[in-house]
């Protein structure tokens, strides 16, 4: 444990109560105010992680810090936390939960997380912590950000020091008002009223609610609503808006379209700036600012509702037509389980999605589906829609179209494809969407996008990063709210007995699925890319009768294949662990790997069961436990152990980590998997590419990477093979 007069603590987000911590005896270092003399980029974290996060890692290395406090605001920060927990040596590191909306449960949980973090920090550095220690804190107030005439309103997540200087100099004839992650004093304001009373354990949420309505960030649900209210009050004094976001910040990238439409509706020019944090030279930016000032000087008021911005259709029924063809050939698939799964998905995307839109709930891959089955709704996986569009050769057109009008190029192609399909009327506008916040920031992003653009009825279940008693209680409360939402959406009372039945089916299907995975620990039974490509979505059926049926068919067929394989003996194929998904627009490359290069994907992480069987007598708590159990959350050492166990139990000869361009969470931990592979003496291949977007894909180049990897596999000693 460290003990010193003024421990140096770094932070990235002003939701940290930095003034309070300073008064407690800590020396605070805001990383967004640090300018590195030489920055060459971070090689530890992948390039598709938020550029501000990567810059912050270098900043932490260059500062003589004793600790760092982070917030659970995005996948990029989660991966930074992982890295610091494992490689930070004696650096104290904690992560605070921040709210997604202005509700008592959100605010109370945030307050609890802040208090726990302060107490743990004080305990670690042997600093006494009591309410009276803090004294009179009348001076701690939220910055009001007054808006005067001729204001340029700069809103976004973060802005480099030098770029801010460029803005101030180039926009000198205006008042520049900054509303950024570095200017909101939310953390201190949350605790203000309780500090005045000298009781840090009694936080009154009423004192915080008004604060949350003043300056919410883009990850918060009421961001778009707040921005519209703010412009309604101040639009006559605002000359222009600059929307700033660091590269690969999904929360702000998804929110830009909403901010843009609201700004245009008030006739206010808006300029978007996506910053590669740490880059030098702003000559091009100065040119853009000059052009922006000209737009302000000659601006013409427009009303968004009167605008008719249209683009030619790609063919609004093409997706549905091609899904009809898939339905016709579903029985040609090699495994019965795949046949049933593909047939079901083809029926949904060529039939039910269009005929029963009111029963459809779009959701993301880590949302348990049992609640929706119990409510007699049809849950549809967002990622699955994009996967089919890519497999059908349609993703490129929709991605290109949406990039040219609404979303940044750095947004994940899964979500760009789905947004493109919806905007082009290739699939119906979603009436309901319920997503979880964990693993993928894009899920929340697309839900917020649809809520603001299409009035989609949305529910966002905020999943804390750390798993403990308070986070479990918090998620349990949210699941109850989700059940109420499902009741309102379906128009029928929710049946808890039916939920228990669905969870029983889940347990049955899960046991069969895990038994099938056990069989794959032996000699390869079939080409593993078939499961990787075509069995995704099976776990999403858990809770339904079909889910049990598909899992049973999968297990039974593998048993039959194993019986035949035992009589023939092994085939000597190299055994691979595949992490993340694979290119869905090109099946030949995966066939080349397994058939021509004599390798076999014996296990893929997409179908890995990471949660425990449900306790049917405690259904809500069991669902909450599952949501908090994903191995890309909480302590990274658990993730290390899971991968180590998989490598050993499946006798893995090599690991392929597909570095999907738009994903921050899974490729963001590539360094961790690389480290485990090295310790286990297993060759490791990071394969850059995109699962959905075929642009830039080179089949020959990927074949060369596979061939080189196969040569590496041939030259190693297999330490786990008996």
Q: What one-character-per-residue DSSP string does 667-708 give?
A: GGGHHHHHHHHHHTT--EEEEEE-SS--TT--HHHHHHHHHH
Strand partners, 274: 245
Q: Give me the pLDDT at residue 160, please.
A: 87
Structure tokens at 569: 């003996």
Structure tokens at 392: 């059908």
Among 91, 95, 99, smallest CA distance to 125 is for: 91
When pLDDT is cut at 50, 70 and 90, the band that residue 426 belongs to is very high
Higher pLDDT, 502 or 13: 502
* Rounded-to-integer distance, Cα 65 and Cα 513, Å: 47
Strand partners, 272: 243
On the question of pLDDT at 282 being above 70, the answer is yes
Between the alpha carbon of residue 633 and those of residues 86, 156, 610, 630, the distances in Å are: 14, 26, 11, 6
How does pLDDT run across 339-353, given as a tens digit for each residue? 999 999 999 999 999
Structure tokens at 379: 């849950």
Higher pLDDT, 280 or 441: 441
The pair phi, psi for residue 377, each rounded to 5°, is -110, 165
Higher pLDDT, 586 or 136: 586
Residue appearing with tokens 């973060």: 158
Q: What is the mean pLDDT of residues 466-487?
A: 95
How does pLDDT run across 492-548, given as a tens digit for each residue? 999 999 999 999 999 999 999 999 999 999 999 999 999 998 998 899 999 999 999
**Residues 249 and 476 sit within 8 Å (Cβ to Cβ):** no
On the question of pLDDT at 691 being above 70, the answer is yes
Instruction: Give the 3-state DSSP-derived string for 512-569, with helices as H, strands as E and coil as C.
Output: HHHHHHHHCCCCCCCCHHHHHHHCCCCHHHECEHHHHHHHHHHHHHHHHHHHHHHHHC
* Cβ burial, residue 696 (10 Å; 0-12/13-18/19+): exposed
HSE-up of 593 (CA within 13 Å, CB side)?
31
Q: Give me the pLDDT at residue 308, please.
A: 44
How does pLDDT run across 99-121, given as a tens digit for each residue? 888 777 777 788 788 888 988 99
Q: Residue 593 gets which letter from DSSP?
A: I
Q: Give me the pLDDT at residue 228, please.
A: 92
On the question of pLDDT at 34 being above 80, the answer is yes
**Residues 250 and 664 sit within 8 Å (Cβ to Cβ):** yes
Residue appearing with tokens 């000198």: 172
How does pLDDT run across 644-664, given as a tens digit for each residue? 999 999 999 999 999 999 999
Q: Give me the pLDDT at residue 281, please.
A: 73
Torsion of CA 550, 551, 557, 560, to 10 degrees: -150
Higher pLDDT, 209 or 529: 529
* Cβ burial, residue 236 (10 Å; 0-12/13-18/19+): exposed
What are the chain's domains?
8-134 (3.40.50.11890), 151-183+222-303 (3.40.50.11900), 320-714 (3.40.50.11900)
On the question of pLDDT at 129 being above 70, the answer is yes
* Rounded-to-integer distance, Cα 272 and Cα 163, Å: 14
Q: What is the mean pLDDT of residues 414-433?
A: 95
On the question of pLDDT at 166 being above 60, the answer is yes
Structure tokens at 397: 């057109």
Q: Give me the pLDDT at residue 4, please.
A: 57
HSE-up of 446 (CA within 13 Å, CB side)?
31
Q: Give me the pLDDT at residue 337, please.
A: 96
Strand partners, 687: 658
When pLDDT is cut at 50, 70 and 90, the band that residue 144 belongs to is low
**Residues 401 and 311 sit within 8 Å (Cβ to Cβ):** yes
Length of the chain measured in residues? 722
When pLDDT is cut at 50, 70 and 90, the band that residue 422 belongs to is very high
Q: Which residues contact 445 (CB under 8 A, 6 or more apart)?
A: 250, 251, 253, 254, 255, 411, 415
Among 164, 214, 224, smallest CA distance to 186 is for: 214
Q: What is the mean pLDDT of residues 663-692?
A: 94
Between the alpha carbon of residue 219 and those of residues 365, 455, 462, 666, the distances in Å are: 19, 18, 11, 20
Q: Which residues contact 281 (CB under 8 A, 6 or more apart)?
A: none
Q: What is the mean pLDDT of residues 386-408?
A: 93
How does pLDDT run across 220-257, given as a tens digit for each residue? 888 888 899 989 999 999 999 999 998 899 999 999 99
């Amino acid at each position: 444990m460290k003990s010193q007069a003024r421990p140096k603590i770094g932070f990235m987000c002003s939701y940290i109560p930095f003034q309070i911590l300073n008064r407690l005896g800590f020396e605070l270092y805001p990383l967004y105010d640090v300018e590195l003399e030489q920055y060459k980029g971070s090689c530890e974290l992948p390039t598709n992680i938020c550029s501000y996060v990567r810059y912050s890692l270098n900043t932490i290395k260059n500062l003589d810090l004793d600790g760092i406090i982070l917030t659970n605001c995005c996948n990029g920060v989660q991966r930074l936390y992982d890295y610091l927990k494992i490689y930070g040596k004696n650096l104290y590191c904690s992560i605070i939960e921040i709210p997604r909306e202005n509700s008592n449960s959100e605010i109370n949980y945030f307050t609890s997380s802040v208090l726990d973090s302060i107490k743990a920090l004080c305990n670690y550095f042997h600093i006494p912590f009591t309410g009276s220690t803090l004294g009179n804190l009348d001076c701690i107030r939220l910055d009001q950000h007054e808006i005067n005439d001729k204001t340029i309103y700069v809103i976004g997540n973060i802005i480099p020091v030098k770029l801010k200087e460029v803005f101030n100099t180039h926009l000198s004839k205006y008042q520049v008002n900054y509303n950024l992650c570095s200017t909101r004093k939310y953390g201190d304001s949350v605790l203000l009223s309780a500090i005045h009373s000298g009781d840090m354990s009694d936080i009154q949420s009423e004192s915080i609610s008004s604060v949350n309505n003043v300056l919410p960030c883009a990850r918060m649900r009421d961001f778009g609503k707040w921005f519209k209210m703010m412009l309604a009050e101040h639009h006559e004094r605002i000359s222009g808006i600059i929307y700033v976001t660091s590269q690969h910040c999904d929360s702000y990238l998804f929110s830009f379209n909403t901010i843009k439409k609201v700004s245009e509706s008030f006739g206010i020019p808006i300029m978007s700036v996506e910053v590669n944090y740490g880059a030098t030279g702003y000559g091009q930016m100065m040119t853009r600012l000059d052009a922006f000032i000209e737009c302000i000087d000659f601006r013409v008021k427009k009303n968004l509702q009167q605008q008719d911005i249209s683009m030619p259709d790609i063919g609004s029924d093409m997706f549905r037509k091609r899904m009809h063809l898939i339905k016709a050939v579903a029985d040609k698939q090699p495994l019965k389980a795949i046949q049933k799964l593909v047939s079901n998905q083809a029926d949904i995307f060529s039939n039910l999605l269009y005929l029963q839109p009111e029963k459809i709930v779009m959701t993301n891959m880590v949302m348990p589906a049992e609640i929706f089955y119990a409510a007699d709704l049809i849950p549809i996986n967002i990622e699955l829609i994009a996967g089919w569009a890519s497999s059908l050769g349609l993703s490129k057109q929709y991605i290109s179209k949406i990039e040219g009008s609404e979303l940044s190029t750095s947004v994940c192609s899964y979500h760009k494809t789905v947004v493109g399909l919806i905007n082009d009327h290739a699939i119906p506008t979603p009436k309901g969407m319920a997503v979880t916040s964990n693993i993928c920031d894009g899920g929340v992003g697309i839900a917020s996008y649809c809520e603001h653009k299409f009035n989609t009825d949305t529910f966002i279940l905020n999943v804390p990063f750390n798993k403990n008693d308070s986070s479990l209680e918090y998620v349990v409360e949210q699941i109850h709210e989700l059940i109420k939402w499902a009741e309102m959406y379906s128009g029928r009372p929710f049946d808890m007995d039916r939920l228990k039945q669905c969870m029983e089916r889940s347990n049955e299907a899960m046991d069969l699925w895990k038994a099938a995975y056990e069989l794959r620990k032996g000699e390869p039974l079939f080409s593993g890319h078939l499961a990787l490509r075509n069995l995704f979505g099976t776990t999403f059926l858990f809770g339904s009768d079909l889910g049990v049926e598909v899992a049973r068919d999968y297990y039974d067929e593998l048993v039959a294949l194993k019986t035949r394989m035992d009589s023939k003996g092994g085939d000597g194929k190299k055994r691979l662990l595949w992490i993340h998904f694979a290119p869905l627009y090109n099946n030949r490359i995966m066939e080349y790997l397994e058939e021509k290069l004599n390798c076999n994907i014996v296990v893929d992480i997409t179908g890995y069961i990471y949660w425990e069987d449900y306790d049917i007598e405690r259904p809500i708590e069991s669902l909450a436990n599952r949501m908090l159990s994903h191995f890309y959350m909480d302590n990274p050492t658990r993730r290390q152990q899971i991968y180590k166990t998989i490598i050993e139990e499946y006798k893995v000869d090599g690991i392929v980590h597909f570095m999907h361009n738009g994903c921050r969470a899974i490729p963001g931990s590539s360094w961790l998997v690389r480290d485990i592979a090295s310790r286990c003496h297993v060759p490791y291949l990071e394969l850059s590419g995109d699962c959905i977007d075929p642009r830039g894909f080179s089949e020959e180049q990927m074949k060369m990477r596979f061939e080189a990897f196969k040569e590496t596999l041939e030259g190693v000693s297999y330490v786990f093979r008996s």
